[in-house]
Structure 1
Amino acid sequence: MGPTAIESELAELLHEHGRTQFWFHRQPAVLARVLRLIRGLPSVAYRPDAGAAAAFIAGHLGRSRWGVRTPLQQVVLVRQLVDHPAAGLDAPVGEPNRTSRKKARRAERQGVGWRRVTDPEEKRLLLAAAVRQEQVHPDENYRSESPDLTPLLELDPWYVAHLDGNPLLLAVLAVDRDCAMLAYFRGLQVREEVSNARYLMSEVVADEARRLGVAYLCASGNPLRMPGGLRHFARSVGFRLARVDVV
């Protein structure tokens, strides 16, 4: 079974049985099938360098449960940005689908723009806005009473999507040589333009990461416990399931 078929079957299993909380122990037969499928995914090794970005990436990719690291913790959403066979991930360059491209263009027609954020004070203001939005988000899957986003201040680059001078979406990357992680990628408001801006900013972030020499862009969350809508969005903009081992 090839990677595409494996990912499709995993998606069906997760759609039917997956939850955002820990659920595997309640579904042993499903868990066994998930583990077999994960072992067939493309794999790549990540060797962290020094610095805050490497520590952030390794901390998320090296996650374990009770000190034990299993294939459940190795599976990651990865978007391959360039042909890079030396890294060992046998996967095509991730490209957004047609719907994703149309929504990105719609965001531009709505007047959504973007820019890189370098000013420390503006970063703190955006971080405060992100915290407020997480605390009141109408969807409980994305709501958090007391999110700690201060580690993002140690990372760079930051990007903001805006409309009429108002910030719509914040994106923060952790970059370690040819590997990067999407450390933060969330709307700062709830409105149609934010939904479309997600697709535009997915391409912005990918293009900027390529410019920085990144070959692989990883999502920070565990895809086995993501809301189904978020997994669908990630796939539509070019992310695919892979196994990543921190060595």
Structure 2
Amino acid sequence: MELQQLTEQYNAQHSEKSMLEKLQFLAAEHPGKVVFTTSFGYEDQVITDIIFKNDLDIKVITLDTGRLFPETYKVYRSTLEKYRKPIHVYFPPTKEVEEMVTAKGPFSFYESLENRKECCFIRKVIPLKRALAGNEIWITGLRASQSNNRSDMTDFEWDEGNAIIKFNPLMNWSLEETIEYVKANHVPYNVLHDKGFVSIGCQPCTRAIQPGEDFRAGRWWWEQGSGKECGLHSLKK
């Protein structure tokens, strides 16, 4: 059966299983072809904890854009120290980054939506495609309540742009449930979360949010109506 056809089958057959059961099933059904992408936020740390504690055959990867917060690198290190398992890092292509910054300067993303999307594409989308190539399952830390663009998510989705099945194990979790898990299980987390940062990306493009603000208000805060997405999760089906 083709991968795309498996998406609906998995949604129908595994909806009642626990997150761990679903991850165990995927690792067994697609050996060596399952990857999880982490940016070390609350959500990703929950999934990392479950994968590493249960010694699942799932490759954990991260994208280093070259513009991350020092606090992000610290939780990266703390995660390596706690679990003693590898997290595979992927960097953006040097040539494209050099050409973009040479032509437009280090903060071109503030100048237009087109420039911002170009920067995200080079620093995130290109290395992601390299990381996903040859794999069959992509596990994400997305939650439906994070953004209006994610409100119609399902457990398993077909990502046409990457020709891969995307699995969203935290789809129905609330932020409160996520934080509770992290604290109850003593999982390392980014201390920026304690300072009002709920969604943490590149340092120049992320700020803390104020009480009552939308979850994604801290990402690309100078933009209006852009959807507040970087392109990693824009192609669903």
TM over 0.5: no
Answer 1 or 2: higher relative contact order, Cα 8 Å, separation at least 6: 1
Higher strand share: 1
TM-score normalised according to structure 1 size = 0.28
